[in-house]
Chain A
Amino acid sequence: MSESQGAAKAAAVVLWVLVGGGLGYGVWQTVARASQLFG
């Protein structure tokens, strides 16, 4: 595996963490807002 391919794979893993974390943040914020509907 070339160095650039390895870096791309590492970047893909970082992206999984970023998009997963971002989605988690968004869902958490939205659930907090949505809870006001039944509060």
Chain B
Amino acid sequence: MNCPNCAAPAPTGDRFCEECGADLDPPVIVIGGDQPAAGKACTKCGGADFSTDGYCEKCGHRRPDPREHVELIVGAGGGNEATVGISDRGLRHARNEDALALAATGPVRITVVCDGVSTTHGADDASLTGVRAASAVLARQIRTGAKPEAATRTAVAAAARAVAGLPRTGAEWPSCTFVSAVVDEESVTAGWLGDCRVYWLGAEPALLTTDDSWAARMVAAGEMDEAAAYADRRAHTIVRWLGRDAGDVEPNVTVIAPSGPGTVLVCSDGLWNYVPEPKDLARAVTGADPLDAARALVERALGDGGHDNITVVLIPFPPADLAATGTPDQPPTATDEKDSRT
């Protein structure tokens, strides 16, 4: 093969180009909603003119958002070896303030999901900024041999800096929660701040994360039982986040070494509000095509009310080596926008 950067010949097996030092097999990273929805007419009035700030010049409604509904696939050939991610606005929120990134390098699969804190202005920017920064750092760290746990901590620090650097446009600083999963041939590493979750769906399905939320704190402190805590209107108030006004941004990190095959599910609270039980989630993904399974889960959350933005990522364990499945010429993304719902 030849170096993709300087075209010098590169022997198979080399990781970096002898001539220019470029990575001969850089990580694949795809970010949800990065591409603007160009040329789309206003879904309310059919108008075609939008102001630079993104509103219909006729009726004032917001331009269709590329983040309205996003589907990503990494791992050529698709099928049961693909990592899939779907993010959807849901039915009740004006914007999709969830953001997701998928990445792959060699046999390692990575995902980052951020959920914008919707009481803050620019929450959608915060989440996208967070996943961009974290996925780039995390993929590069893993690619250059860092351990998943250390790489996760470095990536969270990078995301924290990036989100804290966003300008304030409203009363509060833009902020978001964070979750990442690094899945290699031996282990699953989950890192988080906030209430996005990572589930292990294998022989013994389990929730790997503990929410940084009011309800989880109450339960952990023994102040309330789970039913009472989650019935409280403060249940979902998050107690940790990324943003200028965040306190401690050291992530929680958990590592497991599964003894058999399974699926890692990463999601925002828009899904687990409706389907919290690991067993129920396992039933939905076991034996199914990952994309079909992820779509079915999103549909279920929508059918149950779709009260929040919904993001689901499914990563098979153990992951297939990207080299074995071949690196595609095109970025392996499939973004499919549904018409806005009314």
**Chain A partners chain B:** no
